[in-house]
Amino acid sequence: MKKDTLRAELWDNMHYLFRDINDRVVHVSLTYDFRLDPSILKQALGVAFRDVPILHASFKPGFFHARWIVEPYRIEDVVAFKEIDPTELDCEQDNFLTTYIEPTGPLQMKVAVFYHGTRTTLCMVVNHMCMDAGSLKYFLPRFCDVYDCIASGKTGVMPSFRMGDRSYTAVYACLPSSARKVARRLFKNINQKDDSYFPFTPDSGDDRVQLIRRRFSPDMLAQVCSASKAAGVTVNDFLLACYFQALYDIAQFPEGKKTSISCAIDLRRHLEGAAKESVTNHTAWMQCSVPQKGCTMLETLSSVSRSVASFKSDPYMGLHGLPLVATIFNVFPRAIAEFLIFKVYSNPPCSMSNIGRLDSRALGLQGREPVDGFITGAIKYKPYTLLSVSTLGDNLMVAMCIRGNDRDHDNVERFFDAFMDCTATLVKEIQGIKR
């Protein structure tokens, strides 16, 4: 029987291009204060895999043009259930969340369900080529709706999952005609190459994948939100300033060194209506730069705010360079295309993905909201790094997923120590000028 095929889009090719830089996997953890029904979970996943066939498709790079081949699957290969002691949760969870998903394999999403005491932790890993964090914020609430419908026997009104337009040109559809013409001619990549790397050790045989995270207390999160509002900046700008200052501290960059951190931006900002609510991958980068380490946290925050404001003032934010890489992939064989794109596009050494606030109510199952949870971006390989930020309820989590050794782990912990110190310092500095 001939298998169905799906077109491989620009973002699929770009993620595959950087396969030696990161694992392209997005990681999800949600904990509920009751035991989820395994049969209902399997049925809900079956609905998702039926509606979103790319979740059980294999990526075929090809000599010229890539494609996806929809593969048969068993739900037992998608999800695993395990009873554990509550003290084992962090270890079991992290071991699963650092699972590698091979894009040329038949499954692009895997799920683990850990039962610990009266609680359940639901973990998912999904290939970023199929779904980015913005899509997960659509997918997860829809999954919860499906679970609830099955649990209540209301399968006749079962919601479905929508696999949207995955082409990069989808972001042009809602632009006015004149703006669309301009966007299609934005061949130049405006992001500059940067040499500001996190202080990792060289690659070694001791390297292993690790998920390292730090949680803000509810009180600290409230202070950050209050201070950001008082300073007239976003929480993202606030956290980005702390990232810069902490990076300067532990990397010991020379005085006066300009440094950049690239922030993931959701290109759904250019979409409207139902087009935003679907399983797609529309993520680009915004490069934020500061001329040097600020003498104070407020000085660094000011530099960050100016840089971000400059990017946000561009009506074509995130769209620069897309026509160029699309043309290269369309014209040249894959090996040549990848070589040429590496000449004009470089992966940011340091980056941040602020996934934002997860809707606790929308993630509720049978009327019970998750008591804990987070989403993190890809595992980066040295010397690259990504700081992921997500918020659920009154808890904010920052995380780094790395492939490194014990010294690298210690350096990330030192970074988080510095990051938290910078956060407290910036709160105090803002409070000081408001008195």
Per this entry, what is the length of the chain? 435
pLDDT for the residue 435: 59
| DSSP per position, 195-248 | -----PPPP-TT-EEEEEEEEE-HHHHHHHHHHHHHHT--HHHHHHHHHHHHHH
Contact indicator for 8, 367 with CB cutoff of 8 Å = no
Contact indicator for 223, 392 with CB cutoff of 8 Å = no
Confidence band of 235 (pLDDT split at 50, 70, 90): very high
| DSSP per position, 81-130 | EEE--GGGHHHHHHHHHT----TTSS-SEEEEEEEETTEEEEEEEEETTT
- What percent of the chain clears pLDDT 70, i.e. is strictly above it? 99
CA 98 from chain centre, in angstroms, equals: 14
Instruction: Tell me the C-alpha to C-alpha distance, in Å, between residue 309 and each of 288, 298, 379.
Output: 10, 16, 29
Which is more confident, 64 or 78?
Answer: 78
Confidence band of 203 (pLDDT split at 50, 70, 90): very high
- pTM of the predicted model, to two decimals? 0.95
pLDDT score of 221 more than 70:
yes
Domain count, the chain: 1
Contact indicator for 264, 353 with CB cutoff of 8 Å = yes
pLDDT for the residue 434: 60
Confidence band of 192 (pLDDT split at 50, 70, 90): confident
pLDDT score of 131 more than 60:
yes
Which CATH number do you get for residue 26?
3.30.559.30
pLDDT score of 1 more than 60:
no
Pairing state between β 79-83 and 208-216: unpaired
pLDDT score of 61 more than 70:
yes
Q: Residues 6 or more apart from 231 whose CB is under 8 A from it?
A: 238, 301, 430
Confidence band of 193 (pLDDT split at 50, 70, 90): confident
Mean pLDDT confidence for 171-178: 91
Question: Which domain covers residue 187, as residue numbers?
Answer: 5-433
Confidence band of 230 (pLDDT split at 50, 70, 90): very high
Amino acid identity for residue 320 in this structure: H
Mean pLDDT confidence for 419-431: 96
Per residue in 338-361, pLDDT tens? Answer: 999 988 788 899 999 999 999 999
